[in-house]
Amino acid sequence: MPAALVIALLFLLLGVWLGLRMCSSQFAGVELQAGLVNEAETRAAIERQRAANARLEREIEAARAALQGEICRPAGPLAPFAPPAEGQPPQGQPPQGQAPAGAAPASGGSEQGAAAGGTSEEPEGEPKAPEPAPQQN
């Protein structure tokens, strides 16, 4: 049995040696050159990047120029803000001391109703929250 292993090992080594010689003879006749960079494509990419940089520089300069003026005041067809005359509330607000239309009174009404046995519900001006839908199993 050991002689069979020795013969098998010799044939294995012979096959490896022949394979290496065949591969080395094929590679010996080939001149290896590695082209890592395509020069024309690289130059085109550099030019595209330069154009993008120039465009960004123009945008930055335009933004800086826009910030040079008065940026807190509108420059355009808007009319200047005029505060309301004294004694008049701003437009859309009721005069001081008066509640807006449809608002509940600010004092006493709900406390007296609850003490007299009434229910303390939400004021009539505010809508009630919808009740959740019943769950079906």
| pLDDT band (50, 70, 90) for residue 124 | low
pLDDT tens across 20-30, in order? 999 888 888 77
Residue 99: which of 137, 135, 125, 131 has the closest Cα? Answer: 125
In this prediction, residue 114 carries a pLDDT of 46
pLDDT tens across 49-59, in order? 999 999 999 99
Q: Please tell me whether the overall predicted TM-score, pTM, comes out greater than 0.85 for this model.
A: no
Question: Under the phi-then-psi rule, with left for phi > 0, alpha for psi from -120 to 50, and beta for the rest, what region is 102?
Answer: left
In this structure, what DSSP letter does residue 34 have? -
| pLDDT band (50, 70, 90) for residue 79 | low
pLDDT over 50 (residue 69): yes
pLDDT over 70 (residue 46): yes
